Amino acid sequence: MTDTWVFLIREGDWDSDAYLPENLRGQDRSEDEDMAAHGRFQQAVTDLGAKLTGGDALQNAKYGGWVAVGKDGAEPVYTDAPYTDTNEVITGFYEVECDEATARKIAALVPSGNVVEWRKVLHFDS
């Protein structure tokens, strides 16, 4: 049976600003090993007969934060990055359609400087 799985790349934050268009002018990124590793990963997913249906890198954590949702009418509490309780963040994700055995194989192939969490997606009917 084919399901949808999300692979969360959890590692130290990265310099996403280096990849902004205004910072890439005049630079040759064709030999960027980090990006090449993701290209090889995408080919490996195809070679396993799985279907890559989505994925993106997430910008540096300074462009986000977190919120503790207010309970019982209390105001939410917002905190901007960096996160003081961890030195790891989710830096990107992939979404793949495949069976569970293939998902386990794919999780081990995702380029990461640390760990990859994979989760089966629960689709709700609209």
Give the span between the Cα atoms of 5 and 7, in whole angstroms.
Answer: 7
pTM: 0.86
Beta strands 65-68 and 3-11 are unpaired
Both tokens assigned to 13: 């934050």
Q: What is the pLDDT of residues 70-125, one digit of tens each?
A: 899 899 998 886 666 677 889 999 999 999 999 999 999 999 989 999 999 999 97
CATH code, 3-21+32-120: 3.30.70.1060
| Identity at 9, one-letter amino acid code | I
What is the 8-class DSSP label of residue 63?
G
Quote the pLDDT of residue 83. Answer: 65
Q: What is the pLDDT of residues 44-69, one digit of tens each?
A: 999 999 999 999 999 999 899 888 89
